[in-house]
Amino acid sequence: MIKVIVAGFMGSMGQKTVEMIKQTDDFQLVAGLGPHAQEIDKSEYHLADDVQVFDQLNKVETDADVWVDFTLPNSAFENVKFAIEHGIHPVVGTSGMSDAHLTELTQLAAEKHVGGLIAPNFGLSAVLLMKFAQEAAKYFPDAEVIEMHHEDKLDAPSGTAISTAKMIAEAREQNPSASKTEATIDGARGGDVEGVPVHSVRLPGYVAHEQVLFGGSGEALTIRQDSFDRSSFMSGVKIAIPAVIKETSLMIGLENIL
Amino acid sequence: MIKVIVAGFMGSMGQKTVEMIKQTDDFQLVAGLGPHAQEIDKSEYHLADDVQVFDQLNKVETDADVWVDFTLPNSAFENVKFAIEHGIHPVVGTSGMSDAHLTELTQLAAEKHVGGLIAPNFGLSAVLLMKFAQEAAKYFPDAEVIEMHHEDKLDAPSGTAISTAKMIAEAREQNPSASKTEATIDGARGGDVEGVPVHSVRLPGYVAHEQVLFGGSGEALTIRQDSFDRSSFMSGVKIAIPAVIKETSLMIGLENIL
Amino acid sequence: MIKVIVAGFMGSMGQKTVEMIKQTDDFQLVAGLGPHAQEIDKSEYHLADDVQVFDQLNKVETDADVWVDFTLPNSAFENVKFAIEHGIHPVVGTSGMSDAHLTELTQLAAEKHVGGLIAPNFGLSAVLLMKFAQEAAKYFPDAEVIEMHHEDKLDAPSGTAISTAKMIAEAREQNPSASKTEATIDGARGGDVEGVPVHSVRLPGYVAHEQVLFGGSGEALTIRQDSFDRSSFMSGVKIAIPAVIKETSLMIGLENIL
Amino acid sequence: MIKVIVAGFMGSMGQKTVEMIKQTDDFQLVAGLGPHAQEIDKSEYHLADDVQVFDQLNKVETDADVWVDFTLPNSAFENVKFAIEHGIHPVVGTSGMSDAHLTELTQLAAEKHVGGLIAPNFGLSAVLLMKFAQEAAKYFPDAEVIEMHHEDKLDAPSGTAISTAKMIAEAREQNPSASKTEATIDGARGGDVEGVPVHSVRLPGYVAHEQVLFGGSGEALTIRQDSFDRSSFMSGVKIAIPAVIKETSLMIGLENIL
């Protein structure tokens, strides 16, 4: 039985984590951390009576094995430091932590031999897409990325698409074909990420989707993932919880434990 | 039985036309026009002995009903003028004729009441895609175009993709959603064609493919066409030959007879 | 301003209709019909104070122009009869009404010159897919249907896929190619619907998706629709409301007013 | 420089191999084996003058490092035996060799410490698809296979699709979801290969294409490969030639050296 504490248990992802833990036989929710946590009605947040709640990091006292964290970057940094120092394995779903903070936490985890994971994306399909794209790039140096999101997404390309393109660029063992194409309309050939064109579609109805297209002599390979809703993130968290216990360092990216 | 003359019968598309006519019960090949045509061995170009061949336009004497033309723009202009003047219905697969020439031929055909067709693309799947995209745009003002071609294609976007985007822009009855997206990498949002983003993929292996993506509240509609080889053009020519006989004006674009 | 009454306003689709009417300038919600409707707190169901509510059909007194109905087949039959008799134009989202009932309502509407619509599917993308498939089948007699739904869907193929296949079979002007394929595993070639193979995929994560694949010499045409959530139905209802007022007969299927 | 002999050099795949070797700096064609090979005009088969040709296996004398074989199963068996016995590394593109023959060759290669490869499919995209599908099945036990081929293909499902389904079934670490779906039309749910539904589409225009669809809570992963023409096979042969030299056993399947 793996004992888990959830930081940010009152938020949307925190609550999804609470529910996932309940439905998993091998996991036990032992504590939650959140602002004003001591004033709440536990049942409203689907906590059993014996789950401890803390409203400040410095009050936390727990025998949890794993620390799941869905808080903002600054809190997450302090939380994870605390977790590592107390031998609790962090599983962190926060994106946007600074490089300095990531380095500090990685060093601390190495020192203390505490395995953990910080992942910007816990969606299994997205992470497998990146992994497979990286591997295919060895054989197919010619690749392009197309991502599709709802029209309210503020940035383009998506962070995942940029990461995918970078991974492809790094994994290539040959130069891509020298294309003779000239764009007669600016932008038609997409955005350039280290030599990999990235195309961003923004349309109502779409949720979050990514495709990688590879082409070679007489053939093509396409890898596509569709995220229909954020419930998909929980499959990744569920895989990460038992995995970090067996590790002795802090990893960045879910692909490292797949 | 429809009698056909093929101008440019020695070229690749001309030869495909010769073969298609042979395989179609209702069509009869009566003549061919091509440079040095009188010096050739007819059987090498799959012509029966009774097919007349001419090496110059001013030598042509024929009772053909339909004039199929796969020559270069300048020859095609002279050829089509000749055909219309002689009451032969032109079916022309040449792209790149000037607007002035198109206007002149259209007027001449109207005067003479001779139906005909000039089409830059005889691929049925491409033409249907444009037709459906135009219709869908009435209900889904939010649309993007993605086209994929082999890496040797010189231009981007493809002519068909630009035409498709323009048709969508014209057919829209509502404004598309005001997107909040900002591109952090130039070109990520594609090339803009009258408010319709167009994305061009160039990869080895691919032949000629086009997709139109429509998005609306909670749903998406995608129309895709794949041209695997140019044999696909013959389906369009086959449909055009009997169709132009029933018309009394010169039409531009295969969609006008579908 | 078009005045609307919603039968079944307390259900999920009824509530979506209430919301859509509120957000549309030209529509006004004037009444709702539903069991126990007189005992409810109107604001809980997002009704303004001046919206009339009725708990039984025979109590309804309204000057509505359009009657939107999302009730079960038997209620829907009685409701629509009532609506037509009172000159109110029905827009009905109920599937499963018997042929006898459909015939009776169609005759009544014709007699009274009241336009209306009964549609099993108000999703615009699904209806356009069927419309385009029907048109493409004229030129591409070779077609197959693939539909993908979540693993909880009880039947296979989906009703929409069966309808699409039937429409294709009917629209074909040539016989499909005589395939030489023999299935070495039963079912590999899909279910046969009037000569159109239909393939049903059932996987968790998927919502409701349908593809039609057409193939011809050297080319392919694919039409695909994705329903991500039922909010998509409201676009169809919104189009139907003003359309039925201009009609004088009862139509079956949203495609008839597109 | 790797010296290569091509058995079946006069056939279509043999000739593609000859051409590929010419275009690869590190490879040298030293010999060819084929019926009546000594009566031919070498230049017609694109062989340089110094390439040796043999018309019978027992006449072959060569210092080749690698033996590429595109002959029929029975010849291929004798050829590969000969090659292994002479310390030449076989790369075999023949499918349909019997299990008894495969076992015998594998044992012989192990004894002689000669690395080699027998692969039914040298298309990189198809082999990577199978590899990725196998890996994804660990995380997504719910999967279905759809393959699309031209209407002249005699069997359904394709051999590659059956292999893919079997690999998925074997790689799964959890049971797939218990689907509640009942097919109302026979075959709609596809052919069953060890619990993985396989759907075969047969349409003119299509060449050879395969998709694997995975579904999980709130997300989907799709891997697709398209073979547009058989030139794609040469990429795999090109990778295999230097790879087998470094091996000491006979492997079945290109995936083993990727």
Q: What is the pLDDT of residues B185-239, one digit of tens each?
A: 999 999 999 999 999 999 999 999 999 999 999 999 999 999 998 788 899 999 9
Query: How far is Cα B85 from Cα C135, in angstroms, rounded to an integer?
Result: 35
What pLDDT was estimated at residue D243?
A: 97
DSSP conformation class of C11: S
User: For residue D77, what pLDDT band results from cuts at 50, 70 and 90?
Assistant: very high
- Contact of B198 with chain A, judged by CB distance below 8 Å, is answered with yes
Residue B155's DSSP bridge partners are A182
3-state DSSP assignment of residue D82? helix
What pLDDT was estimated at residue D100?
A: 95
User: For residue A230, what pLDDT band results from cuts at 50, 70 and 90?
Assistant: confident
The answer, yes or no, to whether residue A248 has pLDDT greater than 80, is yes
SS3 content of chain D, % helix, strand, coil (to 5): 35, 25, 35
Q: Chain D residues with CB inside 8 Å of A225's CB? A: 219-222
Which chains pack against B, by 3+ Cβ pairs within 8 A? Answer: A, C, D
What pLDDT was estimated at residue B73?
A: 86
Query: How far is Cα C43 from Cα D145, in angstroms, rounded to an integer?
Result: 49
Q: Chain A residues with CB inside 8 Å of B211's CB? A: none
Q: What's CA A88's distance to the chain center, in Å?
A: 19
Q: Chain B residues with CB inside 8 Å of A142's CB? A: 151, 203-204
Q: Chain D residues with CB inside 8 Å of B226's CB? A: 205
Average pLDDT score, chain A? 95
SS3 labels along B107-136: HHHHHHCCCEEECCCCCHHHHHHHHHHHHH
Question: Which residue type is seen at C59?
Answer: K
The mean-pLDDT minimum among A170-174, B21-25, C230-234, D139-143 falls in C230-234
Pairing of strands B191-193, B196-202: antiparallel
Who among B126, B214, B219 is closest to C228 (CB)? Answer: B219
What pLDDT was estimated at residue C38?
A: 87
Closest to C198 measured CA to CA, from C143, C154, C253? C143
Nearest chain A residue to C205, by CA: A228
Contact by Cβ (8 Å): A14, A234:
no
**Domain covering D124-227: architecture:** 2-Layer Sandwich (3.30)
DSSP conformation class of D177: P
Contact by Cβ (8 Å): C60, C84:
no
Catalytic entry in D149, D199, D209, D238: D149
- The mean pLDDT of D137-154, rounded to a whole number, is 95
What pLDDT was estimated at residue C200?
A: 98
- Contact of C184 with chain D, judged by CB distance below 8 Å, is answered with yes
3-state DSSP assignment of residue B213? strand
What pLDDT was estimated at residue C89?
A: 98
Q: Do D183 and C191 touch (CB under 8 A)?
A: yes
pLDDT digits (tens, 9 = 90+) for A31-60: 999 999 989 999 999 999 999 999 999 999
**Structure tokens that stand for A137 in this block:** 């790039």
Query: How far is Cα A207 from Cα A225, in angstroms, rounded to an integer?
Result: 11
Q: Chain C residues with CB inside 8 Å of A226's CB? A: 205
Catalytic entry in A46, A86, A112, A153: A153
Q: Do B202 and A189 touch (CB under 8 A)?
A: yes
Q: Chain A residues with CB inside 8 Å of D234's CB? A: 217
Q: Do C232 and A207 touch (CB under 8 A)?
A: no
The answer, yes or no, to whether residue D258 has pLDDT greater than 90, is no
Pairing of strands B208-216, B143-149: antiparallel
- Contact of A95 with chain D, judged by CB distance below 8 Å, is answered with no
Who among A124, A136, A218 is closest to D229 (CB)? Answer: A218
Q: Do A232 and C207 touch (CB under 8 A)?
A: no
User: For residue A229, what pLDDT band results from cuts at 50, 70 and 90?
Assistant: confident
What pLDDT was estimated at residue D115?
A: 97
Cis amide linkage into residue D157, ω under 30° from 0: yes
What pLDDT was estimated at residue D213?
A: 98
Min Cα distance B227 → chain D (Å) is 8
How many CB atoms lie under 10 A from the CB of residue B115? 21
What pLDDT was estimated at residue A94?
A: 80
User: For residue C231, what pLDDT band results from cuts at 50, 70 and 90?
Assistant: confident
Strands (E) across C20-179 are located at 27-33, 52-54, 66-69, 89-92, 116-118, 143-149, 155-156
Q: Chain A residues with CB inside 8 Å of C235's CB? A: none
Q: Do D232 and A217 touch (CB under 8 A)?
A: yes
**Structure tokens that stand for C177 in this block:** 């190619």
Nearest chain B residue to A148, by CA: B213
Who among C142, C157, C186 is closest to D204 (CB)? Answer: C142
Nearest chain A residue to C125, by CA: A205
- Contact of A129 with chain D, judged by CB distance below 8 Å, is answered with yes
Q: Which residue has the tokens 């279910």?
A: C191
Closest to C109 measured CA to CA, from C201, C247, C213, C210? C247
Instruction: Confirm whether D150 is a catalytic residue.
Output: no
Sort residue A207 into left (φ over 0), alpha (ψ -120 to 50) or beta: alpha
pLDDT digits (tens, 9 = 90+) for D39-52: 999 999 999 999 99
Question: Which residue type is seen at B224?
Answer: R
Query: How far is Cα D221 from Cα C198, in angstroms, rounded to an integer?
Result: 22
The answer, yes or no, to whether residue D120 has pLDDT greater than 90, is no
pLDDT digits (tens, 9 = 90+) for D2-58: 999 999 999 989 999 999 999 999 999 999 999 999 899 999 999 999 999 999 999
What pLDDT was estimated at residue C230?
A: 78
Who among D206, D228, D232 is closest to B207 (CB)? Answer: D228
Side-by-side strand order, sheet with A27-33: A52-54, A27-33, A2-7, A66-69, A89-92, A116-118, A250-252
- Contact of A166 with chain B, judged by CB distance below 8 Å, is answered with no
Q: What's CA A34's distance to the chain center, in Å?
A: 21
Query: How far is Cα B211 from Cα B185, in angstroms, rounded to an integer?
Result: 23
Closest to D198 measured CA to CA, from C201, A180, C230? C201
Residue D251's DSSP bridge partners are D117
| Residue C1, H or E segment | none
Instruction: Confirm whether B138 is a catalytic residue.
Output: no
User: For residue C73, what pLDDT band results from cuts at 50, 70 and 90?
Assistant: confident
What pLDDT was estimated at residue D230?
A: 77
Contact by Cβ (8 Å): C151, C204:
yes
Q: Do A228 and C228 touch (CB under 8 A)?
A: yes
3-state DSSP assignment of residue C15? helix
What pLDDT was estimated at residue D175?
A: 93
Min Cα distance D122 → chain A (Å) is 11
Query: How far is Cα D83 from Cα D75, in angstroms, rounded to an integer?
Result: 12
pLDDT digits (tens, 9 = 90+) for B149-171: 999 988 999 989 999 999 999 99
What pLDDT was estimated at residue B124?
A: 95
Min Cα distance D213 → chain C (Å) is 8
What pLDDT was estimated at residue C74?
A: 87
Question: Which residue type is seen at C26?
Answer: D
Nearest chain B residue to C211, by CA: B222
Q: What's CA A195's distance to the chain center, in Å?
A: 25
**Structure tokens that stand for D192 in this block:** 């069953």
User: For residue B7, what pLDDT band results from cuts at 50, 70 and 90?
Assistant: very high
Contact by Cβ (8 Å): A198, A191:
yes
- With a pLDDT cut of 90, the percent of chain B lying above it is 86
What pLDDT was estimated at residue C229?
A: 86
Closest to C128 measured CA to CA, from D188, B219, B145, B211? B219
User: For residue C234, what pLDDT band results from cuts at 50, 70 and 90?
Assistant: very high
3-state DSSP assignment of residue A43? helix
Who among D148, D186, D202 is closest to C191 (CB)? Answer: D186
Who among B182, B205, B218 is closest to A217 (CB)? Answer: B205
Query: How far is Cα C101 from Cα D121, in angstroms, rounded to an integer?
Result: 57
Residue B66's DSSP bridge partners are B4, B89
Query: How far is Cα B224 from Cα C211, in angstroms, rounded to an integer?
Result: 11
Cis amide linkage into residue A35, ω under 30° from 0: no
Q: Which residue has the tokens 């691929």?
A: B123
Looking at per-residue pLDDT, the higher value among A223 and A180 belongs to A223
Q: How far is CA B116 from CA B88, B90, B163, B253, in A?
A: 9, 5, 21, 10
Domain borders along chain D are 2-118+231-257, 124-227
Q: Do B226 and D205 touch (CB under 8 A)?
A: yes
- Contact of A12 with chain D, judged by CB distance below 8 Å, is answered with no
DSSP string, A111-124: HHT--EEE-S---H
Contact by Cβ (8 Å): D77, D217:
no
3-state DSSP assignment of residue D136? helix
- Contact of A187 with chain C, judged by CB distance below 8 Å, is answered with no
- CATH topology match: A2-118+231-257 vs A124-227: no
The answer, yes or no, to whether residue C95 has pLDDT greater than 80, is no
Looking at per-residue pLDDT, the higher value among A205 and C179 belongs to A205
Nearest chain C residue to D219, by CA: C205
Given this structure, which CATH class describes domain B2-118+231-257? alpha beta
Q: Chain B residues with CB inside 8 Å of C128's CB? A: 132, 135-136, 139, 221
Contact by Cβ (8 Å): C232, B216:
yes
Catalytic entry in D16, D86, D153, D166: D153
Nearest chain C residue to A208, by CA: C228
Closest to A7 measured CA to CA, from A107, A82, A86? A82
Pairing of strands B143-149, D182-183: unpaired
Residue D91's DSSP bridge partners are D68, D117
C-alpha Rg value of chain B to the nearest Å: 21
The answer, yes or no, to whether residue B24 has pLDDT greater than 90, is yes
Q: Chain B residues with CB inside 8 Å of A217's CB? A: 204-205
- The mean pLDDT of C165-193, rounded to a whole number, is 94
Average pLDDT score, chain D? 95
pLDDT digits (tens, 9 = 90+) for B103-143: 999 999 999 999 999 998 899 999 999 999 999 999 999 99
Q: Do A156 and B182 touch (CB under 8 A)?
A: yes
DSSP conformation class of C175: P
The answer, yes or no, to whether residue C3 has pLDDT greater than 80, is yes
pLDDT digits (tens, 9 = 90+) for D216-240: 999 999 999 999 987 888 999 999 9
pLDDT digits (tens, 9 = 90+) for C5-14: 999 999 989 9
ipTM for the predicted complex: 0.86
What pLDDT was estimated at residue B43?
A: 92
The answer, yes or no, to whether residue A179 has pLDDT greater than 90, is no
Query: How far is Cα B92 from Cα B244, in angstroms, rounded to an integer?
Result: 11
Query: How far is Cα C143 from Cα C128, in angstroms, rounded to an integer?
Result: 17
Query: How far is Cα B42 from Cα B38, in angstroms, rounded to an integer?
Result: 9
Query: How far is Cα A32 from Cα A30, in angstroms, rounded to an integer?
Result: 7
SS3 labels along B155-180: EECCHHHHHHHHHHHHHCCCCCCCCC
- The mean pLDDT of A236-253, rounded to a whole number, is 96
